[in-house]
């Protein structure tokens, strides 16, 4: 239960910061309503609305296993796939030894939705959500000072908490 609440809180806070970021950006630079093209650029990695170099990194990350492993700083903070209620989810870190390579996104005929949330020019949050079940996963990518992108957080696919 603690994990689910923590995960939901993280998703909620990320969404709130993203909304404020977009609100300030749209108010300062563009008309008050985002166009369909602007929304597509944010949610579609192929539309070009993500920070520079991210699309190429994202493709390489899923295509090349050596590249993927070299662009993760282990131990990697995150949340494992929850197998039992007794799992201790405090201070969980993925290690190179327990890492399963990530493959390109597969929507499985619309069963999953993917959303990218750029946070400035140096961070992108990716959420993958099951469209009918109450499951989701999250990955966070960040650019370091050398202009390379890295996976900095991974919460595996888990059931989301529901309000009681």
Q: With a threshold of 0.75, does the pTM exceed it?
A: no
Q: Shortest CA distance to 16 belongs to which of 125, 91, 143, 112?
A: 125
Provide the pLDDT for residue 16. Answer: 46
Taking only the tens place, the pLDDT of each residue in 68-103 is 999 999 999 999 997 656 566 678 999 999 999 999
Provide the pLDDT for residue 4. Answer: 58
Q: Tens-digit pLDDT profile for the chain (164 aa)? A: 665 556 665 665 566 454 455 455 444 443 333 333 433 444 455 555 899 999 999 999 999 999 999 999 999 999 999 765 656 667 899 999 999 999 999 999 999 999 999 999 999 999 999 999 989 999 999 999 878 999 999 999 999 877 76
Q: What is the 3-state secondary structure (H, E, C) of the chain?
A: CHHHHHHHHHHHHHHHHHHHHHHHHHHHHCCCCCCHHHHHHHHCHHHCCCCCCHHHHHHHHHHCHHHHHHCECCCEEEECCCCCCCCCCCCCEECCCCCCCCCCCCCCCCCEEEEEEECCCCEEEEEEEECCCCEEEEEEEEECCCCCEEEEEEEEEEECCCCC
What domains can you pick out in the chain, each with its CATH number?
A: 2-159 (3.10.450)
Provide the pLDDT for residue 59. Answer: 97
């Amino acid at each position: 239960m603690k994990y689910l609440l923590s995960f939901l809180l993280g998703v909620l806070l990320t969404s709130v910061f993203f909304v404020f970021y977009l609100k300030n950006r749209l108010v300062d630079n563009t008309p008050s309503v985002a166009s369909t093209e602007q929304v597509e650029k944010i949610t579609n990695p192929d539309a070009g609305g993500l920070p520079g170099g991210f699309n190429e990194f994202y493709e390489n990350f899923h295509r090349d296993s050596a590249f993927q492993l070299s662009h993760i700083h282990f131990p990697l903070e995150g949340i494992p796939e929850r197998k039992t209620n007794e799992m201790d989810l405090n201070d969980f870190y993925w290690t190179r030894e327990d890492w399963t390579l990530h493959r390109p996104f597969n929507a499985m005929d619309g069963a999953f939705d993917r959303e990218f949330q750029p946070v400035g020019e140096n961070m992108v949050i990716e959420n993958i959500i099951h469209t009918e079940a109450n499951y989701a996963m999250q990955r966070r990518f960040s650019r370091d000072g050398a202009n390379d992108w890295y996976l900095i957080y991974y919460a595996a696919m888990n059931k989301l908490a529901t309000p009681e």
